[in-house]
Amino acid sequence: MISRRDQAVSPVVGVMLMLVVTIIIAAVVSAFAGGMGTDQHKTPQVTLSVKSVIQNIQGTIDPTSYVETYPTGFTAANGIQFENTGGDTFSLNDIEIQLQSEDTKYTIKPTDTLPNTSILTPGITNGGYFQKIGNTSISDRMIAPGDKFMLYADGCAEPVTYTYDNSYYGQKISWRPEGTSGGLALYLNKKVQYAVFDKVSNRVMTKGELILT
């Protein structure tokens, strides 16, 4: 009796092996993609209470040249205060704040440089526009629930009536970072809209409105 041995894998077994390999590859790709999705930055979920802080306004505007001048040695820590009343911890280095008055929008960034004419005191100047309140270290930029931080204004001015059209403007605080061609002025007793953006995800963390007082 002659014994024979098949020398090749049957077509059915070959197809099954191909299916198994395909399933394994799909599982590996799916796991890899899932890992990438997990690594994506999550927008911090926070609740912020917001209020204006007007310490002192003494700037004078020339109604013709529009140049602001201040008394010798004048400083003021005016601006908008934010408090993390609940939610995630975030870094001041990772946010931008957009302010809007009527149709004018302006965004303040943590990388913006204070102008040489800033009215802020030297200690505040070292921290830039965004600074945590109550910390003793400028490097402490983390805002946990219960922490507060300021968006400081670099200028301010008393009311003025411009000579060219007799228009009247009340007290204001203002922002004009070094090297920028424009800026933003917010007037007291006027409604201001704000939005805090997470720079990494480019999404809004929180938004609302307040009246400067």
| Helix, strand, coil tally for the chain in percent (to 5) | 15, 35, 45
Nearest to 200 by CA among 113, 90, 118: 90
Give the sign of the dihedral formed by CA 69, CA 185, CA 107, CA 47: positive
pLDDT, greater one: 138 or 146: 146
Domain ranges (residues) in the chain: 8-40, 46-211
Do residues 110 and 96 make contact, with C-beta atoms less than 8 angstroms apart? yes
Identify how many contiguous H helices and E strands the chain contains and give both numbers: 2, 17
Residues 82-92 pLDDT 10s: 999 999 999 99
* Mean pLDDT score, 116-135: 83
Nearest to 21 by CA among 31, 13, 9, 10: 13
Residues 148-187 pLDDT 10s: 999 999 999 999 998 878 889 999 999 999 988 788 999 9
- Collapse the DSSP code of 163 into the 3-class scheme (helix H, G, I; strand E, B; otherwise coil) and give the result: coil
Nearest to 121 by CA among 98, 153, 82, 168: 153
Nearest to 95 by CA among 109, 106, 82: 109
pLDDT, greater one: 53 or 37: 53
Q: What is the pLDDT of residue 39?
A: 45
Do residues 87 and 44 make contact, with C-beta atoms less than 8 angstroms apart? yes
27-36, 164-173, 198-207, range with the lowest pLDDT: 27-36
Query: What is the C-alpha to C-alpha distance for residues 83 and 4, in angstroms, rounded to an integer?
Result: 84
* Mean pLDDT score, 26-40: 55
